[in-house]
Chain A
């Protein structure tokens, strides 16, 4: 056990910190749930890429810089510390990217990964359907093999940022006679393909945060199949593992938010201390963000020793999503009657982005597999309890 960083790691931190200090936009970008904001975020991603900072752990040949996971944590810490923009291509970069690293052919890696790193292609995840939410194996949208193509029909829903994205990674039923987890295939589809239509769905913030996608006789090359035809479920579970693990939600995010919560509380102490539970909640939020961070370092240490992450990812997902909710709930309570005000309201004062964060935190316990489902997974796969 050794908590000191090497000289190389310290130099890397300094480099990232300096670069971010010089480049993070001073003015907050518009929300990436708008066309304008989306493109602003894409441009930011491109800047990161040019500095070889968009995907630090990827090999240089694929647009990264070959960092190890400790350096990744350092990068993330600096990124959140600098209040840099949210990652518009998080689905491509943190979910599809590692999936391609594991299941993609060499040609697929060369073709897709550098463009993900640079966000020339921004990706959306097209898994959920009206009838297949928690019960993802109930998927009905079809991708049927026709020579060297797949023909896709059906519809997907809740695909985040799909209105402005370039590509989706989807799971479709490729064997029409199959059922449940069998006969599914993991296929990449350009949203510009003929027969694809995307209809926006507004989220709680009133913006087009997700979309419904309709596929009508959409033909895509069989080169876009990831892994083995009919074994898409296995590939999808790898993606889901990344989604629930540290990759999607690194600890810097929560440490930063918890830090801001402490600052908010300090500024409003006179009012906040009338409710002693608020002080308690602030301290607990800070401790939990610390715990999440320490757990990340522990996990990374074990991963560097070759230990494969497993179902702990489910515990991880529950922990960050519930922590995020508690932090934001506490912030709004501290803000009191101003908590409902939008940032542009004349009387908003320092409401900042707490309300927006609060809204998005409501979704954290639902996306990436609901927390109920994660608790089932923990009980069944970690504790070995019988299936219902």
Chain B
């Protein structure tokens, strides 16, 4: 029983964090927001050079062969720095989906190496999301049809963009025609890989939400220390302190839920979907409160376009309902908790 990260895992996270701190400053994010594509190939290339895009790719395809536990640290960084890219969809969810197609999948062999290099963009059209993120510039789209997995290139689909309040999001309605030629997994295999993709997608979002929560907390603490009213920093007022302390508590008690979910998914524990659903809810709660209380602590500045808080806040609002909204995940928790003979009490942590 060891519920901690290895030295290697945390130092990789630290390196990613230092890298993003310089490469993804808020001013730069705003510039990217303003572009049509909403994506920066340069940033993407630099991120790939850090090894992040190869995390989930098996070693034989040039990747690092890491798992969801490693990702649970990295997705927090992606959230913390509000990376304007649906990076995790390609590098974690799509990579997992391709691996799930089996050792001999030609599609996997073709695309996994490209994920490592950072050039390949793969959009995932899971039925839990009615719109597909980043489909407009995807090289490959993995789409759902009656439980099957279909793979299409950008030229084979039509996309219609749906603007979001989070200006970095690129949500597309995708029109396409399924056929025997596009099918890469039948409904039997598809059922398995789509279920896993859902857990993985939700887990990636949960990690990002928690990173966003931490960032909004940090921004608000900085602001509370520097903004003066009544002759003193507003952070000296107890109401402000308690708003921020409440966010700390939510984050502290969402973190281990996220990590346990990552471990459950990585090791294919039978309770993985429950753990992921719980993580998604807990991290969403933390981010929601960090946004609300963060804005309150910022006063009118929190409502102003020029204040950086908005980027993180809007991302948090948007992600909260992606890869399964609250009702969806709560229903998954309820299915478990209210099922007969569920192992609900003390002593349910260990692997069975």
B350 touches A3 (CB 8 A): yes
Q: Mark contacts of A353-388 with chain B using CB atoms, 8 A cut-off: 1 yes-contact digit, 0 otherwise.
A: 000000000000000000010111011101111111
A1 touches B2 (CB 8 A): yes
B interface residue numbers (CB < 8 A to A)? 1-6, 69, 217, 221, 224-225, 232-233, 235-238, 240-242, 244-246, 248-249, 252-257, 259-260, 263, 267, 269, 278, 281-282, 330, 333-334, 337-338, 344-351
Interchain CA distance A3-B268 in the complex, whole Å: 12
A3-B267, A286-B337, A302-B4 as given contacts; A386 in contact with B225, CB under 8 Å: yes
Contact partners of A319 in chain B: CB under 8 A: 249, 252-253
For residue A112, CB closer than 8 A to chain B, the reply is no
Q: List, sorted by A's number, 16 A–B pairs whose CB atoms are closer than 8 Å.
A: A1-B5, A3-B350, A5-B1, A74-B347, A252-B346, A259-B344, A301-B2, A302-B4, A312-B252, A315-B253, A318-B245, A372-B242, A376-B242, A385-B221, A386-B235, A387-B236
A77 touches B346 (CB 8 A): yes
A385 touches B260 (CB 8 A): no
B287 CB to nearest A CB, Å: 15
A293 CB contact (under 8 Å) in B269, B333, B349: B349
B301 CB to nearest A CB, Å: 18
Contact partners of A70 in chain B: CB under 8 A: 1
A interface residue numbers (CB < 8 A to B)? 1-6, 9, 13, 70, 74, 76-78, 80-81, 251-252, 255-256, 258-259, 262, 266, 279-280, 282-283, 286-288, 290-295, 297-298, 300-302, 304-305, 312, 315, 318-319, 372, 374-376, 378-380, 382-388
Interchain CA distance A305-B233 in the complex, whole Å: 38
A294-B257, A295-B252 as given contacts; A379 in contact with B349, CB under 8 Å: no
Interchain CA distance A255-B345 in the complex, whole Å: 5
A81 touches B244 (CB 8 A): no
B252 CB to nearest A CB, Å: 5
- In the complex, what residue of chain A is closest to B232 when comparing beta carbons? A386
Contact partners of B281 in chain A: CB under 8 A: 287
Contact partners of A255 in chain B: CB under 8 A: 344-346, 348
A1-B5, A385-B225 as given contacts; A297 in contact with B346, CB under 8 Å: no
A383 touches B248 (CB 8 A): yes
A294-B260, A384-B221, A386-B225 as given contacts; A379 in contact with B1, CB under 8 Å: no
Contact partners of B244 in chain A: CB under 8 A: 378-379, 383, 385
